[in-house]
Structure 1
């Protein structure tokens, strides 16, 4: 079947709805499970140990993004492209190369981080050194797991791509925590929680490997690998820069800065607020996961009308779900934060700023995804760099004086800047408008022709 036949006008809605519903169910369940696991951890560890746990996991998130080298985004682009073209040798080659390069980067980074934390053990304390050492064991697994997820998404196996990290890992972590309580009367510190998390990461990784092997087209293994190293690196390195900038823009860098510039208690409270705001991010990610491979095929076949319809549907679906979630958190955010512990209610004001930042992303539409999937990753990286620079400068200025509120305001400011810049670029170079403005205009026009 040709991609043009697959993505005709009548099938766009059905394909997107099918994958979006599946992704949303997994993302929604995963968000609740991750939130539940962190509430349990915060309750049993206390704000100080949970703050250390949150700080270490924030650093690990950044390390994973760095060691992946942008190849997860490259795979999301190349896997559906090579399948559509039946370039089985190139598909086998890109899978082999990206896994090898990212694994090497993860091992080197783990060695460097492990050496640094023990070199500065006297200044940072043994608890910090032990926590980082335990967490860094899972770095190679997380990096390869991210590549598995991107590959399965490219194979249009959205639910199986997302389930290991979003469902299996938090479920197993909760089960391990429950087992620890039954077998031991001692409390849970950050290092213990991180060790349990590594076990859960291993299980999720193995399941992802099984599913990738099961759903990979048989033609891949029967063809000799074709290595297009220069092309793949040429695409991946700007994506790597973009991913690194995304790490700085994300809430985890705020957690790291608060842990260094204020205290781990503030970092823990902010981490709880950020986790609640990420519910909106999960909704956005669900739409992007469902639409990504269709975006690639539509752009490759020059179907701009179909692409416009797809991105408008994605933005509408995101807002339909994100707005009620945001309203609920505005009204009851303090009470929800209280589930983490009484001290965590201080995170309400930062939560408002972080929710505003996520809604800016939702209203702009899939601007970053569109640019990275259509060959304009350098433009995306440039605009993200501008937004991140503004965010970092504001964070360094505001966090010492305003703490968590300053970090949230810096995040909101950066999000407004890079989303507006990317939206203007998407409209100019791709010729589609994924923003809420386009959706609003369509609604107004339809309303005006009603009798």
Structure 2
């Protein structure tokens, strides 16, 4: 059959396909090149930090990197400690360490977080005298409180040592030695964040300190062939004091370059009135996130405490995401609020919520996939904690959906309402722990914590919406 010749200017089907393919390839290449250019420009802007948003992104990225590295380091160190000490001794050390984190985190009485608000406000108002007063006075104050708590705690241990399990007494004495410097580092962390010195705020406590503990315990094993919870306690003392003094010296050097010497002014009444509600918020948060371990130790043995603590430590890898965002953003909320820049504040809050949730979601999914092998690394017995990860992650995701809402409330003068919410969440968590752990064991502790976090997140969302008019939720259609 004869085929009809194509008319001039017309293309056959095969010609059209073959000629359109290069065009598609060119379009695809152009799209990739455009994406690469945009990505390069975005990363360049973050590196240069030409405005507050990109500075916050760069600070958050550095904090994220340090916190992610520290989380990986902490996981490795906890695995090695569990292997070296055994589940029984590891459970004792875990209890002592949680006690240090809990008490040491409360001793500063809210001054680290309040400092992120006050220093930002004083800088905006041009009051370096108040800044100098806060930097000096807050550090001296927490060291004094830490020393007092350590002395009172030692007396309490001496009086009630018979009622405390014999295995726990000496490690708890060792923890008391750490308290003044541990509290000092908490305040210095808050001061350093105001100047975006995130390396100084985080590297020593989250990288150098765990490495020091690991090196000391490992060295002891190499020399003596043995280590226990007491050995780890002595290592903890050395690590806390070395990193604390190093941070003190480095912070003073940097402050000398940024903050000129001059008269100090003190506003103790205003500082205290603001800091105490924040202290209540942080107290209830610390209790909320550590009560489960403490209550488990009341009902179950050290080995069970070790299994539960290992599961918590594995899932703690997710916590570096909100930690990094908060480190970069808290003082900016106060700065924009003081300047009356509502639009900028609302936009920045939306950004920080998104920066919190989506990376936290990806990290959680990755941990759920790899959780069992990670727990097995602690020892064969620790794999029993794998089902706990699925329960605990529910609460973490609920909390990530509202981002750093607690810091938003604290920086914008709503610390009292935030404290009430945290008090309610802690009371609920405590009641659920005492109710569920005797019946369901470790799963009961996990459900108690997750339920309390869900309730807390819902209440914080409504407080931010009703008190500040801020829609602090990851799904915000009003963009």
TM-score by length of 2: 0.86
1:34 to 52, 68, 74: 74
Distance (whole Å) between structure 2 residues aligned to residue 20 and residue 334 of structure 1: 30
Task: Tell me by how many angstroms 1:307 deviates.
Answer: 1.8
1:188 to 206, 210, 227: 227
**Is 1:271–2:309 an aligned residue pair?**
yes
2:156 maps to 116
Question: What is the count of residue pairs matched by the alignment?
Answer: 431
Task: Tell me by how many angstroms 1:19 deviates.
Answer: 0.8
- The answer to whether the Cα contact below 8 Å between 2:105 and 2:186 also exists between their aligned partners in 1 is no
Task: Tell me by how many angstroms 1:247 deviates.
Answer: 1.5
- The answer to whether the Cα contact below 8 Å between 1:80 and 1:155 also exists between their aligned partners in 2 is no
Task: Tell me by how many angstroms 1:158 deviates.
Answer: 1.4
Question: How has the CA–CA distance of structure 1 residues 130 and 291 changed in structure 2, closer, same or farther, with 3 Å as cutoff?
Answer: same
1:258 to 289, 296, 299: 296
2:351 maps to 313
Task: Tell me by how many angstroms 1:225 deviates.
Answer: 1.3
Distance (whole Å) between structure 1 residues aligned to residue 271 and residue 241 of structure 2: 28
1:198 maps to 237
- The answer to whether the Cα contact below 8 Å between 1:277 and 1:358 also exists between their aligned partners in 2 is no
- The answer to whether the Cα contact below 8 Å between 2:87 and 2:303 also exists between their aligned partners in 1 is yes
Residues 303-337 of structure 1: CA deviation (Å, up to 9, x unaligned): 22222222222222223322222112222312211
2:404 to 349, 353, 366: 366
Secondary structure in structure 1 of the residue aligned to 2:162: helix
Misfit runs of 4+, over 3 Å: 217-221
Task: Tell me by how many angstroms 1:65 deviates.
Answer: 2.4
- The answer to whether the Cα contact below 8 Å between 2:291 and 2:430 also exists between their aligned partners in 1 is no
Which region of structure 1 is more displaced relative to structure 2, 391-400 or 346-355? 346-355
Unaligned ranges ≥5, structure 1: 1-8, 446-451
TM-score by length of 1: 0.91
1:245 to 261, 281, 284: 284
1:77 to 107, 117, 121: 117
Question: How has the CA–CA distance of structure 1 residues 215 and 86 changed in structure 2, closer, same or farther, with 3 Å as cutoff?
Answer: farther
Task: Tell me by how many angstroms 1:129 deviates.
Answer: 1.3
Task: Tell me by how many angstroms 1:12 deviates.
Answer: 4.1
2:468 to 412, 417, 430: 430
Task: Tell me by how many angstroms 1:175 deviates.
Answer: 2.0
Unaligned ranges ≥5, structure 2: 1-48
1:212 maps to 251
Secondary structure in structure 1 of the residue aligned to 2:163: helix
Which region of structure 1 is more displaced relative to structure 2, 316-325 or 383-392? 316-325
Distance (whole Å) between structure 2 residues aligned to residue 434 and residue 139 of structure 1: 35
Report the aligned-residue RMSD.
1.8
Task: Tell me by how many angstroms 1:16 deviates.
Answer: 2.1
